Amino acid sequence: MCGIFFSLSSSKPTESTQETCSLLQKRGPDSYKTHTAQKDINAQDGVSPSLSYYLTFTSTVLSLRGDHVYTQPLVDPTTQSVLCWNGEAWKITGERVQGNDTERVFDLFLQAVDSDQKGSVGKMAEAIASLSGPFAFVFYDAVNSRLFYSRDCLGRRSLLEGFDEDGNLKICSICDSASVDCFKEMATEGVCTIDLARYQDPSLSPRELCQIETLPWSSAASTPADHIVCSSCLSSVAATDKGPKRKSIPPMNTSLPTEQPPALTTDSAFVEQLESKLRQSLELRIQNIPEPPGYIAGETAKTAVLFSGGLDCTLLARLSHDILPLDEPIDLLNVAFENPRVAAAAKANQQKSPSSPPFSIYENCPDRITGRAAHIELQATCPGRTWRFIAIDIPYTETLAHRDQVKRLMRPHNTEMDMSIACALYFASRGQGTAQTNPSAQLPTPDTPSPTYTTTSRVLLSGLGADELFAGYGRHSVAFNRGGFKELIAEIDLDVSRLGSRNLGRDDRVLSHWGRETRFPFLDEEFVAWVLRAPVWEKCGFGLPEIEATAGIDCEKLALRLVALRLGLVRVSREKKRAIQFGARTAKMETGRSRGTDALS
């Protein structure tokens, strides 16, 4: 995980604020560097003074690829082109990238722009299209005086853009308190590019002169010449001057069944392929992780799971067991909050029934209950592995102490629901709590507390994306009951299309604050494309005949539930979907009638 800051100004170099520097260094603690470039443009009339623009690049780095830290920004000594890269290029042109990916991407971009300006745009489009993985970047093509910046087409990495009060263009991974009105979340529709050679009038600011062109991501069919398509497409389409026309995220399969679809079982071809495809996605993300600081072989972890004990995260943990060496521990990060409303109700009940057992505000959180149960099932299903359950208990006073920080990180998102979700992710990714490896051991008490443990892992696994792809939300059931498969397809399509704007940028800013990188196996481009191409009735159980083999298993995400069943997770396969803010009890902490969509003050 890395942090990016970029500015384009006409009066003098505009560097990031101290607050921005601090936040970026939290994301990328391994290196920090700023590079400034000056672009001089001679007046066309030969009389007026020449014009100068200043480009400031700042990068911080969390090193997770290769055998050493690759300090950014990368600057080409020959052309003075510059790259700030925040991402993971798992594959380039379908070939798996071994070692560090940043230098590979930089070389790819440099080769693309080593040509005339018109041709370089098309070659850059082709180069970006060849990348598979989550990314955000800023690249300055000094040869042709052109700027490129983008998030990947799913939006898995944060990138904000905007103009400050002086008219300077700023692009950044995070939003500090001084820039709250200037930044907006960059859209995921394509790659933005600016031709700096157009700047001819010294009296105008970058804001007045910036003509930002978007090269959109596009579908494989009938692709215009000014569109970009990513790497995971089914097939190439004839190249134009803007690059090959292939699409990583194809349109969703909207076909409707002409007869009763067959029941899904653990032996169904789609379920078997699903397990294989998910395993392949996970392998890319957890194999060959370098040893983190403080790592002790056989004792501490390289990999941790954001762990509620629900279906998606436990399935990732279970598959990770098959991929990682047996002597490598896996940390399970489970967060529970002191909610004043719940605590007050529990205290009142205790006073009414003094003889009842003491109520633990944390151990009675829904996600703590399911997390403990899933830990037991993992231990039974995968003996020999050290599963370290980290109970992260957050008192209300600590929630309040960090509230402004969480609010700052999630900006420009600013609703009650954003806060309740972001708060849970923020403390979970900190990874600090009490650790337990034996699920049957006695839990710590106030009289016998366990020492605090902080995970060493810099890689966190998240199950985000599973609900959107496999119809895991309650509204999917509502849609099917309202209009059958047609309405269900429309609802899933909407969910997938808004992942980048609704979830991923916010989550990236919050989760990365502790110098850890979150990886989303369910959002691998190839995996997403494969799932979207499948008929909807192969992914969930709506409209399918009931059979004894799946009795008691919910229709939502049925295919994933059957994969869990194949892997021995009998209890987990029957877990109900629960939103993180209710499972960890970050929702509705204060009394009143606030709604999730209400804006924060």
Q: List, by residue number, the catalytic residues.
A: 2
- In this structure, are residues 58 and 15 in contact, taking their beta carbons and an 8 Å threshold? yes
Q: Which two tokens stand for residue 477?
A: 């059931």
Supply φ then ψ for residue 307, to 5 degrees.
-125, 105
Q: What's the CA gap between 211 and 549, in Å, rounded?
A: 60
Please state, in angstroms and as integers, the Cα–Cα distance from residue 63 to each residue in 284, 306, 524, 554, 589, following that order: 16, 21, 21, 41, 37
Please compute Rg for the chain using Cα positions.
Answer: 25
Calculate the dihedral angle through the C-alpha atoms of 151, 154, 155, 157, rounding to the nearest 10 degrees. -80
Judge contact between 538 and 456, C-beta under 8 A.
Answer: no
With CA atoms as reference, report the closest residue to 108 among 87, 86, 131. 131
Q: Within 10 A of 541 (CB to CB), how many other CB atoms are there?
A: 22
For 240, list phi and psi in degrees, rounded to 5: -120, -170
Are 236 and 244 spatial neighbours (Cβ–Cβ below 8 Å)?
yes
Burial class of residue 490 (count of CB atoms within 10 Å of its CB; 0-12, 13-18, 19+): middle
For residue 140, give Cα distances in angstroms to 57, 79, 158, 213, 350: 10, 10, 19, 15, 64
Q: Is-cis flag, bond preceding 383, omega within 30?
A: no
Residue whose entry in the numeric block shows the structure tokens 């708060």: 423
* Nearest partner of 98 among 54, 137, 66, judged by Cα: 66
